């Protein structure tokens, strides 16, 4: 899950409250935070310090990096990405939301929905985050007024189906425990919603995609005929006897064996690291994709994509880059930047031939060799890619294949 919102909406405090109230904070760490709070002149324990780990963040009282935290409740295990609120860190929000199954978007009850709220909601929609919770924070500062909460919920209409929860992270109202101060609210607490939201991955029900990471050949003294194609099964269910196609060569074969953690199994599902054995001797190497024979994607050398510029250096038309998708990296050129998205209004406009840092736009890319991709709306794993500076080796752009209108 990713927690986002505008500056000073209380994201880090909400995360700290969650960790504290489920008992996930060691005593010595809580004592250190209490001591740091007193040194800053606060009479109460500043739980936001549990997540604001960088020295610069502690000194400025803001979140700069994407801070990841892990905790377990009575029902689930969670990985939380605490995303920055500043406009110049939109790329960090993209990073945090790219793998999230749920987004919590915070709003300060005193200020209501602001531009950055809409921006983060738009990013969540663009990245197809399946579930969204609108957490109206700092309800204690508006007297726990039901009318204030209702007005904000009405204004937050950019995403249909979002669950709204009134909370006070500072006081602990409706974060983990239900608040007696808001008897008018009969919905779930924030933690209840996080525990109950369905996360049965659509990746399991999608078509089989196995980007090959490594070819396992027998060592001295082992079975000579063993050849396993190893990697993470990013989507679908793979079974012994399934007909598959190897891309981009389009050679067909049948699965005759699947190994997981050194043990032979009859089937595997998305998320597992596997070694697959095929009936036919196929020239297959790192970067190839084993896919379902039915409905396999056509390898392409040109793709249209929505991208977020991660680097401060602009992405320009004609730029030569490396495109990495799955385990395959190929040379590519940015042929055209077709537009720029205003994530506050969801309107597209001209890009002027370049995308600056944190800009989101649409581009047309030509690759030197065929790549195997799906539309991002169909598969979040094989529909995503990054662009790499071929000289510096740094990641400059994150992309979504044929993402369509957000």
d(CA 366, CA 119): 29
Owning domain of residue 392: 300-401
Q: What is the pLDDT of residue 225?
A: 73
**DSSP structure string for 347-391:** EEE--TTEE-TT-EEEEEEEEEEEE----TTT-TTTTEEEEE-TT
Tell me the per-residue pLDDT of 113-148, one tens digit each, with 9 for 90 and over: 888 888 888 888 888 898 999 999 999 999 999 999
Place of tokens 């194609």: 229
Residues 18 and 39 in one domain: yes
Domain annotation covers residue 373 = yes
Percentage of the chain exceeding pLDDT 90: 55
Residues 281 and 305 in one domain: no
Domain annotation covers residue 283 = yes
Residues 376 and 340 in one domain: yes
Q: CB under 8 Å to 131, separation ≥6 — which residues?
A: 101, 102, 103, 163, 197, 198, 199
Residue ending a domain, choose from 164, 181, 199? 199
**Cis peptide bond N-terminal to 275, omega within 30:** no
Domain annotation covers residue 151 = yes
Q: Domain with 10 in it: what CATH number? A: 3.40.50.300
- The most confident of the ranges 107-116, 153-162, 248-257, 340-349 is 248-257
d(CA 239, CA 261): 16
- Which residue, among 376, 348, 338, 373, has the nearest Cα to 94 in the 3D structure? 376
Residues 67 and 179 in one domain: yes
Residues 315 and 282 in one domain: no
Residues 270 and 217 in one domain: yes
Residue ending a domain, choose from 199, 219, 247? 199
Residues 319 and 361 in one domain: yes
Residues 20 and 136 in one domain: yes
- Phi, psi angles (nearest 5°) of residue 21: -75, -15
Residues 90 and 171 in one domain: yes
Lowest-confidence region among 77-81, 242-246, 265-269: 77-81
Domain annotation covers residue 304 = yes
Q: Domain with 334 in it: what CATH number? A: 2.40.30.10
Beta bridge partners of 62: none
Residues 222 and 333 in one domain: no
Residues 279 and 154 in one domain: no
Q: With a cut of 60, say whether residue 182 has pLDDT above it.
A: yes
Beta bridge partners of 78: 71
Residues 272 and 324 in one domain: no
Domain annotation covers residue 360 = yes
Number of domains in the chain: 3
Average pLDDT, the chain: 87
**DSSP structure string for 132-194:** EEEEEE-GGGGTT-HHHHHHHHHH--SSTT-EEEE-BTTTTBTTTB--TT-TT--S--HHHHH
d(CA 12, CA 65): 12
- Which residue, among 230, 227, 228, 236, has the nearest Cα to 268 in the 3D structure? 236
Residue ending a domain, choose from 269, 292, 315? 292
Q: With a cut of 70, say whether residue 270 has pLDDT above it.
A: yes
């Amino acid at each position: 899950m990713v927690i986002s919102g505008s500056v000073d909406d209380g994201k880090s405090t909400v995360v700290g409250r969650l960790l504290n109230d489920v008992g996930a904070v060691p005593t010595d760490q809580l004592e250190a935070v209490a001591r740091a709070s007193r040194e800053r002149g606060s009479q109460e324990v500043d739980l936001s310090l549990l997540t604001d780990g960088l020295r610069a963040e502690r000194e400025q009282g803001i979140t700069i990096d994407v801070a990841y935290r892990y905790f377990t409740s009575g029902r689930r295990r969670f990985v939380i990405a605490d995303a920055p609120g500043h406009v110049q860190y939109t790329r960090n929000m993209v990073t945090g939301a790219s793998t999230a199954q749920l987004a919590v978007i915070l709003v300060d009850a005193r200020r209501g929905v602001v531009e950055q709220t809409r921006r983060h909601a738009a990013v969540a929609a663009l990245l197809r985050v399946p579930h969204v919770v609108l957490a109206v924070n700092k309800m204690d500062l508006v007297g726990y007024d039901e009318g204030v909460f209702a007005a904000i919920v009405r204004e937050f209409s950019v995403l249909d189906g979002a669950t709204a929860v009134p909370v006070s992270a500072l006081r602990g109202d409706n974060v983990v425990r239900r608040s007696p101060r808001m008897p008018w609210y009969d919905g779930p607490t924030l933690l209840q919603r996080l525990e109950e939201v369905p996360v049965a991955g659509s990746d399991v029900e999608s078509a089989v995609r196995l980007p090959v990471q490594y070819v396992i050949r027998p060592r001295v003294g082992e079975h000579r005929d063993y050849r396993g194609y190893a990697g993470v099964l990013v989507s679908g269910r793979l079974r012994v006897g399934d007909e598959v196609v190897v891309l981009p060569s389009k050679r067909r074969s049948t699965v005759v064996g699947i190994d997981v953690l050194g043990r032979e199994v009859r089937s595997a599902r998305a998320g597992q690291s596997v070694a697959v054995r095929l009936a036919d001797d196929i020239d297959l190497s790192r970067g190839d994709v084993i896919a379902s024979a039915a409905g396999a994607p056509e390898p392409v050398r040109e793709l249209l994509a929505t991208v977020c510029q991660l680097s401060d250096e602009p992405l320009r038309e004609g730029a030569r880059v490396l495109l990495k998708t799955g385990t395959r990296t190929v040379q590519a050129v940015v042929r055209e930047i077709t537009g720029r998205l205003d994530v506050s209004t969801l309107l597209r406009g001209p890009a002027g031939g370049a995308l600056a840092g944190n800009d989101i736009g649409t581009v047309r890319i030509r690759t030197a060799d065929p790549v195997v991709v799906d539309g991002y709306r169909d598969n979040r794993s094989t529909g995503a890619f990054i662009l790499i500076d071929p000289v510096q080796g740094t990641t400059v752009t994150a992309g979504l294949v044929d993402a369509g209108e957000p």
